Amino acid sequence: EIVLTQSPGTLSLSPGERATLSCRASQSVSSSYLAWYQQKPGQAPRLLIYGASSRATGIPDRFSGSGSGTDFTLTISRLEPEDFALYYCQQYGSPLAFGQGTKLEIK
Amino acid sequence: QMTLKESGPTLVKPTQTLTLTCTLSAFSISTSGVGVGWIRQPPGKALEWLALIYWDDDKRYSPSLKSRLTITKDTSKNQVVLTMTNMDPVDTATYYCAHSIWLGVLGYFDYWGQGTLVTVSS
């Protein structure tokens, strides 16, 4: 089973800054089968990125994903107030697995 | 717009069996390529994948919970049902169902239900 480790656990930044979130896999993720989700308090997760770098429908272009193999990154180019939330990565080989999450908080 | 809605008990007792239903709208579990999964999230903790079922009745389970889970579909009602046996207080969580697509591998989840909080307590 692939284990996903996200870092940092908490990231404190200000609006307008650039955010870089990491997701590291214990084994290589086949064909970049990696997704990123955003979750706000009391809400279901929202798909941001799939295939490591493809934005889901309606996702602003300030969100971008990159990486391959065992190292993946979600970048938010300029933080908006609504971007402060929890972020999870997920690999969709078998079995599915989620990372433990990164909390992006306002500094 | 695809929607999913979870329903089931909000409180179950330890050792009981939990049955949750996911009702699908604007898409069919019978359509080629469609999958529906269940994911849970204990309060303040991370997401955990539980199970997935596809249009062709292919079923996949989390290895750590496989012995306790059963996922089925009712095509006439366009619903997906998850049962989890031998419930324990550590199973207290918000349970989500979500839409997926078969990609030749298990997929990501692009539409989610609102979730339902299940508390396990005597």
* Res A26: pLDDT: 96
* Res B68: pLDDT: 98
Q: Could you tell me which residues come within 8 angstroms of residue A4 by beta carbon, excluding any fewer than 6 positions away?
A: A23, A24, A25, A26, A89, A90, A91, A97, A98, A99, A100
* Res B116: pLDDT: 98
The tens digit of pLDDT for each residue in A6-61 reads 999 999 999 999 999 999 999 999 878 999 999 999 999 999 999 999 999 999 99
Compare all CA atoms of chain A with the CA of B63 and give the residue at the minimum distance: A95
Quick one: which H or E segment has residue A30? none
* Res B103: pLDDT: 84
Compare all CA atoms of chain A with the CA of B104 and give the residue at the minimum distance: A93
Beta carbon pairs, A and B, within 8 Å: 65
Binary contact (A92, B46; C-beta < 8 A): no
Compare all CA atoms of chain A with the CA of B97 and give the residue at the minimum distance: A44
Residues of chain B with Cβ-Cβ distance to A44 below 8 Å are 96, 98, 112-115
d(Cα A59, Cα A74) in Å, to the nearest integer? 13
Q: Residues of chain B whose pLDDT is less than 50? A: none
